[in-house]
Structure 1
Amino acid sequence: MASITLDLSDTQFQKLQDLAVAHGIELEILLKASIEDWLNSQKSEFVDAANYVLTKNAELYQRLA
């Protein structure tokens, strides 16, 4: 498993700790879940954009085929 190191301000770190405590989970778990959600949303946004382009240009693609 890979690991990274981030430099956070004291304020950012405290906000993350407070959020983890509010959810009753460890900070590392909160960060992993947040990163996973972000990565999944990026994939979803790409798929949505690709589907929009394909639908919008379907007639053009048919003529070019």
Structure 2
Amino acid sequence: MAPWSTSIVFRAGHRIRVQVTSGDLPRWDRNLNTGEPEASATTARVPRQQIFHDPDRPSRVVLPVVR
């Protein structure tokens, strides 16, 4: 997944946080996590996100560096 264009300067010692969600209302349509059509869904399920980070399923965050 590619992030949209943005710019920020990280100084030495700065930290960032990566937040994983099932939706971002109102930026995108709601996601009730049932597989039903979003426009007519009425039932919601609590989502569960899982990020794999083992040798068989490595994960990473790649941020471009512009100097």
Q: Which has the higher contact order (CA 8 A, sep 6+)?
A: 2
**What's the TM-score once normalised by structure 1's chain length?**
0.25
Identify the structure with the greater helix proportion. 1
